[in-house]
Structure 1
């Protein structure tokens, strides 16, 4: 019983008051040493160059809550068949609320004076020779209305109940587009962003952008990169398209407002950068047979004439503008810093693993290095340790040689590194 109590007491004492450290073998070998240092240098370059400098692993990040307001300015003019018309913002911008996504009309097909009634379809939509060819009460996906079951003898097409006369969009005004004057319109963008994690709010009307500056400036990538007023012709050009080409059948342009900020420096350095991208079509595309080229939609203006409801239908071809805000703010934080350092220190272990593989499996003296690195024991058939006359200053453990450390720093074990003449090479650790 006393023996068991002493064992428990010793085990508890050893657990709290002893420290175990791994055994290390110093191997002097040029090839292994060079491999070790090269791997360590590579890991160090990765940690410093990629993790800390490029990826900013010492900073925490946040994205912004954003709002965008837009306003168009400019006047257009058309003269179609001697009919002159002036187009202002209320006529050519859809929708008119100043959203981050809107369309500026550049070309159109207009059908005026439509009213509800029965009229023949366009040639090619649903041809017929007699009434039985027209299925009364049915609809055709590409048609304009509900078929009445009557074949019009003049046009040889089925009559439909629809807005009459039906729209003929087979011909598009192309040279030049009707609202080529849209090239000179201007767009004003007002954008504000808030980074909740850092409690910072910024606007694209940064320091120095006042009312006097806005009244005179026009965006230029180099001369005026912070001006929030953009010329439509410049937008199309900066996105890689030709204005006349895109104005004919429409297209889409993305304006990216990029807020990439480092709050380790003064907040005033957090300023937007504008980038421009064509979102529909390829400016170098020459295949005119592609399906669904450009961008268009229909818009109707209803009115009453002699108590009869009528409408003016416009098939609008235009440039769709999408203002896209992307953001990423950074600031120093101790937690990601320690995490990055800890992961980097862990990666240093790769050098040890590679060098051990070279030592133990590739070098000619691998058996010698294996004997130096590992202590092999066999506990089968051995009596209890208490029967041995053990030196209390010696620590015995599986997988490590017993070392009797004296003042000289050398080991009593004749097989240890201190007593070996053949020690060569270096283990990276």
Structure 2
């Protein structure tokens, strides 16, 4: 069965006004919302890039315990080289609020390392080729127990913010030393977002074409109301829908 569209003109003020009103609302929707508000006439592109933040300024800090030392000797000034570590980051920057410095650290020898029986050397070598190495303790009587605790949470007051350590190594009198610094502070992470657009005639025609397609909604709603609720709906159905008998090829011109 093949169906085709049949045009029926109906003299009904109510349906005609309803149809024009729906068309007007759709036209307003397309013109103001799709084209103007949503900028349907533009071609958009998301930007890509990164930012590098440069911090400047000085800050007055308290040395040792400011509650006990309030004279000028307990005060110091930090500039950007002191409180911005590292000096340059991509899409982030760190501002130090406190630091703990440990001077004069050097590497030594643990007392346990003096025991030759803990290592294989030329005089003591219990390691045999092709044999497993025995454990350092008897595990038959030693059963390890494991417990896990969360050390930091969102409301941790003991170690808030971000903290990390770094060292500065130097050599003095044939001895290697290091200075360990632990930094406390705030780390800011930046996210770049943008929305750039320009006029595109193709996008404009697509927006207008979609608006013309929306016009079919007005016809469908008007026809549905006329066929279901109008007092002359039966007559409209008879004229709108008509079944034809099978037409032979000789009757088709």
Q: Give the TM-score, by structure 1 length.
A: 0.41
Q: Which residue of 2 aligns with 1:132?
A: none
CA distance in 2, matches of 1:354, 1:291: 67
Contact 1:71 1:98 in 2 (8 A): no
Length, aligned pairs only: 205
Using the TM superposition, give the Cα deviation of residue 65 of structure 1 relative to its aligned residue in structure 2, in angstroms.
4.2
Q: Cα distance, 1:370 vs. partner?
A: 1.0
Instruction: Report SS of the residue matched to 2:53.
Output: strand
TM-aligned CA distance change 1:362 to 1:113, over 3 Å? farther
Alpha-carbon displacement from aligned partner over 1:109-133 (angstroms, at most 9, x marks no partner): 33443334559xxxxxxxxxxxxxx
Tell me, yes or no, if the aligned pair for 1:62 and 1:329 is still in contact at 8 Å: yes
Kindly indicate whether residue 68 of structure 2 is the aligned counterpart of residue 93 of structure 1: no
Contact 1:69 1:98 in 2 (8 A): yes
Shift of 1:305: 4.4
Q: Secondary structure at the match of 1:97?
A: coil
Task: Label 1:65 to 1:366 Cα distance change in 2 as closer, same or farther (>3 A).
Answer: same
Call closer, same or farther: CA 1:141–1:114 in 2, change over 3 Å.
Answer: farther
**In structure 2, distance between residues paired with 1:105 and 1:99:** 17
Q: State the match for 1:296 in structure 2.
A: 163
Distance in 1 of aligned mates of 2:28 and 2:16: 18
RMSD value, Cα: 3.7
Structure 1 residue 375 corresponds to structure 2 residue 242: yes
SS in 1 for 2:191: strand
Instruction: Please list the CA deviations of residues 310-340 of structure 1 after superposition, one character each: whole Å capped at 9, or x if unmatched.
Output: 3333332223233433222222111111111
TM-score by length of 2: 0.65
What CA distance in whole angstroms lies between the structure 2 residues aligned with 1:83 and 1:300?
Answer: 24
Aligned partner of residue 95 in structure 1, secondary structure: coil
How far the C-alpha of 1:346 sits from its partner, in A, is 0.4
**313 and 350 in structure 1: CA distance in 2 versus 1, 3 angstrom threshold:** same
Q: Secondary structure at the match of 2:226?
A: helix
Structure 2 Cα separation of the partners of residues 342 and 290 of structure 1: 61
- Structure 2: how far apart are the matches of 1:86 and 1:292? 24
Please list the CA deviations of residues 173-192 of structure 1 after superposition, one character each: whole Å capped at 9, or x if unmatched: xxxxxxxxxxxxxxxxxxxx
Structure 1 pair 141–77 and aligned structure 2 pair: CA distance change class (3 A): farther
Structure 1 residues 341 and 312, CA gap change in structure 2 (3 angstroms): same
Secondary structure in structure 2 of the residue aligned to 1:325: coil
Are positions 1:363 and 2:222 aligned together? no
Establish whether residue 347 from structure 1 lines up as the match of residue 181 from structure 2: no
What do the CA deviations read for 1:142-181 (whole angstroms, capped 9, x no partner)? 9xxxxxxxxxxxxxxxxxxxxxxxxxxxxxxxxxxxxxxx
- Corresponding residue of 1:316: 183
Aligned-pair CA distance for 1:372: 1.6
Higher relative contact order structure (alpha carbons within 8 Å, sequence separation ≥ 6): 2
2:196 matched to which residue of 1?
329
Q: Is the 8 A contact 1:102 1:320 kept in 2?
A: yes
- Of residues 54, 59, 72 in structure 1, which corresponds to 2:55? 72
- 1:148 paired residue number: none
1:113 and 2:96 aligned: no
Structure 2 CA distance for aligned equivalents of residues 53 and 293 of structure 1 = 48
Greater share of residues in helix: 2
5+ residue gaps, structure 1 = 1-20, 120-134, 143-280, 282-287, 393-429
2:16 aligned to 29, 33, 44, which one? 33
Q: Residue 83 of structure 1: CA displacement?
A: 5.8
Distance 1:385 1:27 in 2: 33
Q: Structure 1 residues 101, 330: closer, same or farther in 2, change over 3 A?
A: same
What runs of 5+ residues in structure 2 fail to find an aligned partner? 65-72, 112-141
